[in-house]
C-alpha cells in the first residue's frame, strides 16, 4: 500500500469544540482524566455535553502559553476526537473530565466564537506501508521491548501492561505505548503526526531500546555508587539512626555530652585492664538507659567515681632518716620513745622492698599529739596526709562502702580519702577510734 493519508468519507469530517492541553498528548484508545480551568475550555466542554459529548483535544506547542485565549499558531494541527465519559464541577469553578480518545484528526481550520474555540477537522488514520509479515515481526519485537521498559521503569505500574496485552491492532498498541512512555511532549507529537504506522512504530521502538539502555546504565551506576558508600556517609547514616534511638529513649543533648565525656576519660585515665573493661561495659549500658530510670543515676555515680579515682602508680620517693628525725624533733618536744619507734618503722620501710600490714597505733588522751605525729610522719615520707574521723561511727559500711544496688550508695571513707588526696598511697590516720 502506498504512503498516503486515508481521508474517510464525509461522515469523518465536521466541526467540534476544542480543548487545548498543556504538556499532554491525548491519543486514541486511551482513557485520561483532565482538569479544565480556562473559561474557553469549560465552555467547550459544556457545549459538547449539550450535543453528543464529542470534543477535540489538541496539544499546545508551548507549555508557557497560559492566557485564556491561545491562538491557532500556538496549537498543533493534529489532535484526537474524544468522548466525555464523566464530568464533575469543582467548588473553585474548575471542571474535572474523564475522556476517552476515539480517532486521530487533522485540523483544517480553527474558529473562535464568543465563548470557546472550535475546529473544522477530518479524520486521518495511520496506515501500514509494509507487508504483513514485516509488520507482525516489528510489532512482536516492540511488545517485548516495551514490556522490558515497563519492568525497568519503576514509575510505570505493572498494570500498564494489561491493556497492552489486550490490544489487538497495531495502532491501538502504538497509541497506548506512546501515552505511557516518558518522552518529551514535542517528540511525542512528531510521532503522533506521522501517517505511516510502520514508521511510527519503528521510531518508537528505537526510542524504547535507547530508554532501556539508559535505565540499565542508571541501575548500574546506582549499584556502583551504593556499593562504594564512603565511611563518612555510613557514619552519617548510623549517627542519624543513633539520634533516632536516643530520641525514643529520651536521651537529651546533655546526656550525649556526658557519654562523650565519659568515653574520653576512659581513654585518658590510666585504668588497669580489668577496670577499663568494667568501665566500658558500664558505659555501654549507660548509653542505652533512659534518663528517668533509677539505674541511670546509680550507673552515672559509679562511672564518675571510677574515673575520678587516682589510677597512676604512686611515685616511690626516697626519704632521709636524719631529715625525718629533724622533722619529728621540730614538730614535737619530748616523746623520745615514741619518736624512736617511729624512726624504727621508717628504717624498716626504707630498707625493705615491700612492707605489708604495718600499722602504727597511737594511744593517749586528747591533746598529747597523736594527730600531729601522723602529719609529721607524712611530711617526713613526703606523702599526702588524710585524717579520717571515726568518732561515733557504728556502721562498718561507712568505712568499706555500700553496695551499689542501694539508692545513694557511695564508696567508703578510705576510697573517698584516696580520691581527696589524689594518690593511691596517702598516709591515712584513722582518728577517734572508740
CB atoms within 10 A of CB 25: 25
CB atoms within 10 A of CB 171: 20
Q: What is the mean pLDDT of residues 252-270?
A: 72
pLDDT at position 78 over 90: yes
Q: Which residue has the cell 539502555?
A: 213
pLDDT at position 398 over 80: no
Cell numbers found for residue 311: 589510677
Which residues, in sequence order, are bridge partners of residue 122?
Answer: 13, 106
What sign has the CA pseudo-torsion 63, 68, 74, 80? positive
- pLDDT of 131: 74
pLDDT at position 411 over 90: no
- Residues 198, 201: Cα–Cα separation, whole Å: 5
For residue 169, CA distances in Å to 4, 147, 282 come to 20, 17, 74
Say which DSSP state 392 is in: T
Name the band, by pLDDT with cuts 50, 70 and 90, for residue 95: very high
What sign has the CA pseudo-torsion 282, 285, 291, 297? negative
The residue count of the chain comes to 434
- pLDDT of 407: 65
132-152 helix and 197-227 helix, angle to the nearest 10 degrees = 30
- Max distance between CA atoms of the chain, in angstroms, equals 142
For residue 100, CA distances in Å to 6, 26, 54, 251 come to 23, 9, 10, 58
Question: CA 63 from chain center: how many Å?
Answer: 37
For residue 293, CA distances in Å to 251, 299, 334, 405, 418 come to 11, 10, 60, 14, 30
- pLDDT of 6: 36
pLDDT at position 251 over 70: no
Q: Which residue has the cell 486515508?
A: 6
Q: Which residue has the cell 614538730?
A: 331
Domains contained in the chain, CATH given: 6-125 (2.30.130.40), 132-227 (1.20.58.1480), 232-308 (no CATH), 321-431 (3.40.50.300)
Question: CA 390 from chain center: how many Å?
Answer: 59
Per the CB < 8 A criterion, the answer to whether 104 and 126 are in contact is yes
- pLDDT of 330: 77
370-381 helix and 321-331 helix, angle to the nearest 10 degrees = 150
Backbone φ and ψ of 415, nearest 5°:
-65, -35
Q: Which of 82-86, 173-177, 365-369 has the lowest mean pLDDT?
A: 365-369
- Residues 428, 434: Cα–Cα separation, whole Å: 17
Q: Which of 103-112, 157-166, 254-263 has the lowest mean pLDDT?
A: 157-166
pLDDT in tens, 172-201: 888 888 888 888 899 999 999 998 888 888
Burial (CB count within 10 angstroms: exposed 0-12, middle 13-18, buried 19+), residue 105? buried
pLDDT at position 67 over 70: no
Cell numbers found for residue 170: 497495531
Per the CB < 8 A criterion, the answer to whether 33 and 96 are in contact is yes
* Structure-model confidence comparison of residues 244 and 218, the more confident one: 218
- Residues 110, 363: Cα–Cα separation, whole Å: 124
pLDDT in tens, 282-322: 777 777 776 666 777 777 777 777 777 777 766 666 677 77
Count the alpha carbons within 13 Å of 385 in the hemisphere toward its beta carbon: 15
Q: What is the dihedral of CA 147, 152, 154, 160, to 10 degrees?
A: 0
CA nearest neighbour of 104 among 8, 202, 36: 8
- Residues 42, 217: Cα–Cα separation, whole Å: 44
- Residues 130, 136: Cα–Cα separation, whole Å: 10
- pLDDT of 8: 39
pLDDT at position 369 over 90: no
pLDDT at position 357 over 60: no
According to the per-residue pLDDT averaged within each range, which of 8-22, 45-59, 127-141, 371-385 is highest? 45-59
Helix (H) or strand (E) holding 98: strand 95-112
- Residues 312, 216: Cα–Cα separation, whole Å: 63
Name the band, by pLDDT with cuts 50, 70 and 90, for residue 231: low
Q: What is the mean pLDDT of residues 100-126?
A: 90
Q: What is the mean pLDDT of residues 76-80?
A: 93
- pLDDT of 183: 87
Which residues, in sequence order, are bridge partners of residue 111?
Answer: 118
Helices (H), 294-335: 294-308, 321-331
Name the band, by pLDDT with cuts 50, 70 and 90, for residue 7: very low
How much is the mean pLDDT over the chain? 79
The model's pTM is 0.49
Amino acid at each position: 500500500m502506498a504512503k498516503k493519508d486515508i481521508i474517510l468519507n464525509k461522515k469523518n469530517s465536521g466541526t467540534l469544540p476544542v480543548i487545548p492541553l498543556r504538556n499532554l498528548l491525548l491519543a486514541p484508545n486511551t482513557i485520561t482524566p483532565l482538569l479544565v480551568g480556562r473559561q474557553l475550555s469549560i465552555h467547550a466542554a459544556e457545549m459538547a455535553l449539550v450535543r453528543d459529548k464529542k470534543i477535540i483535544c489538541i496539544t499546545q506547542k508551548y507549555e508557557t502559553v497560559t492566557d485564556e485565549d491561545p491562538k491557532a499558531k500556538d496549537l498543533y494541527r493534529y489532535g484526537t476526537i474524544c468522548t466525555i465519559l464523566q464530568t464533575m464541577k469543582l467548588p473553585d469553578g474548575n471542571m474535572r473530565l474523564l475522556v476517552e480518545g476515539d480517532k486521530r484528526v487533522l485540523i483544517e481550520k480553527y474558529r473562535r466564537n464568543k465563548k470557546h474555540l472550535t475546529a473544522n477537522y477530518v479524520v486521518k488514520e495511520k496506515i501500514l506501508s509494509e507487508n504483513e509479515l514485516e509488520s507482525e515481526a516489528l510489532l512482536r519485537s516492540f511488545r517485548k521491548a516495551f514490556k522490558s521498559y515497563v519492568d525497568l521503569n519503576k514509575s510505570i505500574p505493572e498494570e500498564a501492561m494489561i491493556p497492552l496485552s489486550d490490544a489487538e491492532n497495531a495502532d491501538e498498541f502504538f497509541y497506548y505505548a506512546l501515552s505511557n512512555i516518558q518522552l518529551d511532549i514535542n517528540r511525542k507529537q512528531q510521532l503522533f503526526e506521522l501517517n505511516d504506522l510502520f514508521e511510527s512504530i519503528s521510531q518508537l521502538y528505537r526510542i524504547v531500546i535507547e530508554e532501556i539502555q539508559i535505565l540499565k546504565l542508571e541501575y548500574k551506576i546506582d549499584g556502583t555508587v551504593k556499593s562504594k558508600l564512603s565511611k563518612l556517609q555510613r557514619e552519617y547514616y548510623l549517627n542519624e539512626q543513633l539520634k533516632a534511638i536516643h530520641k525514643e529513649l529520651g536521651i537529651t543533648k546533655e546526656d550525649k555530652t556526658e557519654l562523650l565525656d565519659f568515653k574520653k576519660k576512659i581513654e585518658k585515665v590510666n585504668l588497669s585492664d580489668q577496670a577499663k573493661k568494667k568501665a566500658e561495659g558500664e558505659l555501654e549500658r549507660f548509653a542505652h538507659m533512659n534518663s528517668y530510670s533509677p539505674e541511670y543515676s546509680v550507673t552515672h555515680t559509679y562511672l564518675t567515681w571510677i574515673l575520678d579515682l587516682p589510677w597512676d602508680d604512686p611515685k616511690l620517693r626516697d626519704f632521709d632518716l636524719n631529715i625525718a628525725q629533724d622533722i619529728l624533733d621540730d614538730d614535737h618536744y619530748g616523746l623520745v620513745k615514741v619518736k624512736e619507734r617511729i624512726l624504727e618503722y621508717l628504717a624498716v620501710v626504707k630498707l625493705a622492698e615491700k612492707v605489708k600490714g604495718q600499722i602504727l597505733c597511737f594511744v593517749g588522751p586528747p591533746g598529747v599529739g597523736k594527730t600531729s605525729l601522723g602529719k609529721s610522719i607524712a611530711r617526713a615520707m613526703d606523702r599526702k596526709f588524710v585524717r579520717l574521723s571515726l568518732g561515733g561511727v557504728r556502721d562498718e559500711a561507712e568505712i568499706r562502702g555500700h553496695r551499689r544496688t542501694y539508692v545513694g550508695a557511695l564508696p567508703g571513707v578510705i576510697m573517698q580519702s584516696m580520691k581527696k588526696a589524689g594518690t593511691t598511697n596517702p598516709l591515712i590516720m584513722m582518728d577517734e577510734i572508740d
